[in-house]
Structure 1
Amino acid sequence: MASASGAEVEWERVLWKRQPFPDNYVPKTFLSSLSTNANFRPYTYASLVLASCTISLHLAVIFIFLAIFVRLRERTLDPRLLVWISVLSFVCFYTLWEIVEHLATAQSRLANRAKTVKSSILIFLALLALSPVLRTLTAATSSDSIWALAACLFALNVLLADYTPMLSAQQHPRERLSSVLSVNAAIAASVVLASRLADDVSVFALMLLSVEAFALAPLLRRRLQTAPAGFAGLTLLAAGLAVALTAGLSRTVAVLYAAAFAFVTLAAPSLLVWAQRYKNEIRGSWDPAVPKVNLAPHGARPG
């Protein structure tokens, strides 16, 4: 735009200066700073499949637990055998935890082992004492209501579970409220299901398995997420066990679980990779200003 003296005036991006331009003026250089997907990092299919293994493993644990509950209810599984399997599983999982956990000194390992053994004994005795109470907890409630309540609680457990990994062995983050609610929902679902069993030993066996599957196993799962190959192998093993256990009860349920596993683990990541082509993040000089903080050491003058 030309001024009164005939000289051409250039537009400046300032607010404190009066300029001979209308408010809706668009300069020719408006799109010179346009950038598309500047901060976008495309996903790879392998990384998404590995990330989805966390959800797949969690679903496999739930289906394994439900298959064991049905066998206990139908008296095709000896509850005493399940107790021994749970104890041996705890020993194996704790040994694996000790392998992946790198503590600072041997004293800290001994102290943690003593606390773990003490807590395990207390939980074992508490469940043993509460089994007669839990067996009659929902005696006045119909089974249909119990199945619906358990399904809602397990769905809440899946939605609120913490699927983020522990990036280091020294990382002991504070538990999120959502993850605490997730564990409580799973334990509550286990309690209402255990109340449908016929004897105290079955109730005790199922609750012992529930504590391991929904309170202790997620901690180990978050540790193992830092080892991709081992974590993927553990997910496939759990999925195969879930299919085998559910197939012995209902082929329809086994097929539905296999389809859900295939969708979550294989199909959903491919859909997300395909949808990346439509990602279009536009940035330019019209975006809000981002302050640049001086990162120079304290007391040093910027050059």
Structure 2
Amino acid sequence: MVIKKPWKKILYENQPYPDNYTDETFLRDLRTNIKLVSLSEAIWGATLLLEEFCTVIAFVLIYVYLFNEWVRPEAIFNISSVLTAASFVLYRFLYTKDVKNRFGHDLRTVLIFVVFGYLFSPVLHTLTDTISTDTIYTMTFFMMVIHLIFFDYGVSAAVVSNSLSLSAAIFASICLASRLASAYHAFIFITVAIELFVLFPLLRSKVKSFYVIGSLFLFDAYFLMKSSMLFMMLFILTAVFINIGCPTFFIRYQKYKSNIYGPWDEAIVDDADDAINEQCNKVE
């Protein structure tokens, strides 16, 4: 009588068992739904979505105020520049190393953007001038939806694409810039778009606080109230649905999940954007 050796979950050793053989111990480590989300975690995740939604609303409000000439473009440029400079100092001195060398690189980048942005603003202002206004607004709406869908909210998922999300936001800003009064307005509007969609997310990824979302929410609600009470109410209802309604429904229905975790090897797909972000963090 031949006694077989005990079966092991290995591939580098010849065993007297078929390749697809498993014994009764294989499923001992089987677990189901071990990664349930708590209500506080769900609310915080929804807050990240609400934060970016408020950023998009602020972007649209700035366009509306510039388009209707309810505010001088210099005022928007000065306020946004002061806030960006203060945020830059906070980000560099608290969250990065080698501040002196990075400061010179950042200063050159800002000067290049300001010079070339101002020189090419007449081109950007007339780039989509021949397209109808309704088409411009429709494209802007869909670009903002794409931006919100593919934005990086800190969740490792295949749908996340920083490049696509940023490209959609910049394309929307170029589309809207053609409807402003002058190339100078277009330059300021695109500058604010860069600050909101390129620089602001970098700071928010480090400063994770409810003060940021609170300030954004109050800013949007106040200026929506001055322009339209109906839109302000819709904005508040949407914010409540995102930050309270969605987490509540998620927690209520996550018990119906049927995710299994066991001793088998699971395939993991690497995201190209994640690899790029890791390299950028190492450089900083």
Q: Could you tell which deviates more after superposition, 214-223 or 130-139?
A: 130-139
Give the letter for the 1:141 counterpart.
I
Are 1:207 and 2:190 counterparts? yes
Instruction: Answer yes or no: is the 8 Å Cα contact 1:86–1:208 preserved in 2.
Output: no
Structure richer in helix, relative to its length: 2
Within the candidate set 211, 215, 234, 1:237 is matched to: 215
- 2:227 aligns with 249
- 2:240 aligns with 262
Give the letter for the 1:219 counterpart.
L
Post-superposition offset of 1:242? 1.1
- Distance (whole Å) between structure 2 residues aligned to residue 140 and residue 239 of structure 1: 35
Q: After the TM superposition, which segments of 4 or more aligned residues of structure 1 sit over 3 Å from their partners? A: 12-17, 32-36, 279-283, 287-291
Instruction: Answer yes or no: is the 8 Å Cα contact 2:169–2:197 preserved in 1.
Output: yes
CA deviation vs aligned residue, 1:64-87 (integer Å, no higher than 9, x gap): 110110111111110011111121
Q: TM-score, normalised by structure 1?
A: 0.73
Instruction: Answer yes or no: is the 8 Å Cα contact 2:143–2:168 preserved in 1.
Output: yes
Q: What is the SS of the residue equivalent to 2:227?
A: coil
Are 1:147 and 2:112 counterparts? no
Within the candidate set 162, 180, 184, 2:152 is matched to: 162
Q: Structure 1: which 5+ runs fail to align?
A: 1-11, 18-28, 166-175, 226-230, 292-303
- 1:24 aligns with none
- Distance (whole Å) between structure 1 residues aligned to residue 65 and residue 210 of structure 2: 28
Rg larger in structure: 1
Instruction: Answer yes or no: is the 8 Å Cα contact 1:34–1:282 preserved in 2.
Output: no
Are 1:135 and 2:141 counterparts? no
Post-superposition offset of 1:47? 1.6
- Distance (whole Å) between structure 1 residues aligned to residue 182 and residue 199 of structure 2: 25
- Distance (whole Å) between structure 1 residues aligned to residue 83 and residue 111 of structure 2: 15
Instruction: Answer yes or no: is the 8 Å Cα contact 2:30–2:263 preserved in 1.
Output: no
- 1:221 aligns with 204
| Alignment RMSD | 3.0
Instruction: Answer yes or no: is the 8 Å Cα contact 1:135–1:199 preserved in 2.
Output: yes
Q: TM-score, normalised by structure 2?
A: 0.78
- 1:44 aligns with 38
Within the candidate set 49, 68, 75, 1:81 is matched to: 75
Are 1:61 and 2:51 counterparts? no
What is the number of residues matched between the two proteins?
A: 248
Post-superposition offset of 1:247? 2.1
Are 1:178 and 2:172 counterparts? no
Instruction: Answer yes or no: is the 8 Å Cα contact 2:29–2:263 preserved in 1.
Output: no
Percent identity between matched residues is 21
Q: What is the SS of the residue equivalent to 2:161?
A: helix
